[in-house]
Amino acid sequence: MPKVIDLFCGVGGLTCGLKKAGLNVIAGFDIDPTCKYTYEHNNNVTYHNENIREISGEQIKKLFGNDNAPVLVGCAPCQPFSQMRFKLGEANASDDKYDLLLEFGRLIEEVKPAIVSMENVPRIRNTDVFKSFIDILDNNGYYHSEEVVYCPNYGIPQSRRRFVLIGSRFGPIELIPPTHDPKSIHIKDYIYNLPQIDAGEVCLSDQLHRSAALSDKNLERIRVSIPGGTWRDWPENLRCKCHRKSSGQTYSSVYGRMTWDQIGPTITTQFYSYGTGRYGHPEQDRALSLREGALLQTFPNNYDFIDPDRPFKFGDIARHIGNAVPVRLGEIIGQTIIKHLNEHI
């Protein structure tokens, strides 16, 4: 099976998915040293803690060796292109992460792998950096397809839309068709059977199944929150000041509870915080635990995020989980690549 190298690999969501599909991932690269344990421990793949700006094409070629169909994937950080950044007018070249996609493009140009893939937020398509990236692909002989994926169509229990690009030097390539009926995807099938815990409590049988503590006020709020409802269901004395202003009236999902028989919200780096979205547990008076966030990101239920040689930091692990490519999406990309290679090799 062709060798794969994963750039911006984080804790390995994409790598894990590609491996589940049957691909041979041989290396991951990322600048964040806190991801190394989780990436290597769960995937048995070497983690290179390096800055992509300092990685050379020769370095990547050496790892690929004489592989006849090397695959290079790279999901550059999406924060510069998020919906909020666009809304605030901040999606511009002043962000130090803005041009990282072009560093991926540079390596594509230097290495010329057989297959390339990237995943990001849909709005990246509206940027100059993306147009320059497409020029690199076109100038180097890549056929490529681009698709905005509605995650439930592929069995991912989030109302998440992600942009996926796949390119090939062999011929036209497209993402495989949807595999699920979105109406059949419910969060109950992913997190219902976990042990019950209170806000701020850690499960004795799974150290990752822990939730953030709630203030007394937020505990009152979640107790009167209805699954699928909004803060408008609360008594007036529990409402936030911002919700009494016209500018805050549209943020109806914050402080919301999820519903068992529906998909969940997009898992962000703040999914453990009750006040940042519809992250309230459907029944228990708390926000999602770290394990629940990982499961909604379709990580295996035994994926280990806790480095025994580092002090435990709740926010770091939530960031690792929220920034990851959903494992199932990685698997779909992997299945697409294998199908394509089987048709051309």
Check whether 126 has a pLDDT greater than 80: yes
Residue type, 207: Q
- Read off the pLDDT of residues 177-195 as tens digits, 9 standing for 90 and up: 999 999 999 999 999 999 9
Helix or strand or coil: residue 28?
A: strand
- CATH number, domain of 138, equals 3.40.50.150
- Model confidence pLDDT, tens digit, residues 14-39: 999 999 999 999 999 999 999 999 99
Q: Is 206 found in the same domain as 151?
A: no
Q: Answer yes or no: is pLDDT of 92 > 60.
A: no
pLDDT of residue 215: 93
Together in a domain, 211 and 80: no
Residue 84 has pLDDT above 60, yes or no: no
Same domain flag for 337 and 276: no
Are 33 and 158 within one domain? yes
Q: Indicate whether 38 and 85 sit together in one domain.
A: yes
Q: How many helices (H) and strands (E) does the chain have?
A: 11, 9
pLDDT above 50 (res 81): no
Structure tokens, 105:
């493009």
Render pLDDT for 271-302 as a digit per residue (tens, 0 to 9).
999 988 899 999 999 999 999 999 999 999 99
* CATH number of the domain encompassing residue 240: 3.90.120.10
Give the residue-averaged pLDDT of 242-252.
Answer: 52
Q: Are residues 35 and 172 in the same domain?
A: yes
The answer to whether 151 and 143 are in contact (CB under 8 A) is: no
pLDDT score recorded for residue 213: 97
Query: Across residues 253-263, what is the average pLDDT?
Result: 90
- pLDDT for 248 equals 46
Instruction: With beta carbons less than 8 A apart as the criterion, state whether 11 and 322 touch.
Output: no
Local structure of residue 225 (DSSP, 8 states) = P
What's the token pair of residue 334?
A: 């992997």
13 with 160, same domain: the answer is: yes
Which structural domain range is residue 247 located in? 188-323
pTM above 0.75, yes or no: yes
Task: Give 188-216 pLDDT, tens digit per residue.
Answer: 999 999 999 999 999 999 999 999 999 99
Tell whether 287 and 339 lie within a shared domain: no
Q: Which pLDDT score, from 0 to 100, does residue 242 have? A: 60
Task: Classify residue 139 as exposed, middle or buried by CB count within 10 Å of its CB (0-12, 13-18, 19+).
Answer: exposed
Total residue length of the chain: 345
Residues 120, 76: contact at Cβ < 8 Å?
Answer: yes
Q: Tell me how far apart the alpha carbons of residues 238 and 219 are, in angstroms, rounded to a whole number.
A: 10
Mean pLDDT of the region 63-74: 96
Number of separate domains in the chain? 2
Res. 141: pLDDT tops 60: yes
pLDDT tops 90 at residue 233? no
**Angstrom distance (rounded) from CA 30 to CA 10:** 6
Domain co-membership, 91 together with 138 = yes
> What pLDDT sits at residue 251?
53
For the segment 62-90, the average pLDDT, to the nearest whole number, is: 75
Residues 96 and 194 in one domain: no
Percent of the chain with pLDDT over 90: 81
**Are 151 and 242 contained in the same domain?**
no
Categorize the per-residue pLDDT at 86 as very low, low, confident or very high, splitting at 50, 70 and 90.
Answer: very low
Pair 158, 200 in one domain: no
- Report the C-alpha gap between 231 and 83 in whole angstroms: 23
State the catalytic residues: 78
